[in-house]
């Protein structure tokens, strides 16, 4: 993940992103996880 893109996010946005990632990992939803993190890729 690109640190510069993540730095632009607020604390609340980071927390929501982490919660979403954890939920998708728990549900084993690879396609949803990929779609979620694609904008933050380096």
What is the per-residue pLDDT across 1-42, written as a single tens digit (0 to 9) for each? 888 888 888 999 999 999 999 999 999 999 999 999 998 887
Prediction pTM value: 0.74
**Who contacts 40 (Cβ-Cβ below 8 Å, separation ≥6)?**
1, 2, 5, 6, 17
The angle at the Cα of 41, spanning 16 to 13, to the nearest 5 degrees, equals 15
Nearest-CA neighbor of 20 among 8, 32, 11, 38?
Answer: 32
Host domain of residue 23: 3-40
Residue keyed to tokens 């927390």: 15
Q: Give the model's pLDDT for residue 1.
A: 81
Distance CA 1, CA 9 (A): 13
Q: Give the model's pLDDT for residue 3.
A: 87
Q: Give the model's pLDDT for residue 16.
A: 94
Q: What is the domain count for the chain?
A: 1
């Amino acid at each position: 993940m690109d640190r510069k893109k993540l730095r632009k996010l607020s604390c609340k946005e980071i927390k929501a992103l982490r919660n979403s990632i954890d939920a998708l990992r728990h549900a084993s939803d690879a396609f949803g996880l990929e779609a979620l993190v694609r904008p933050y890729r380096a």
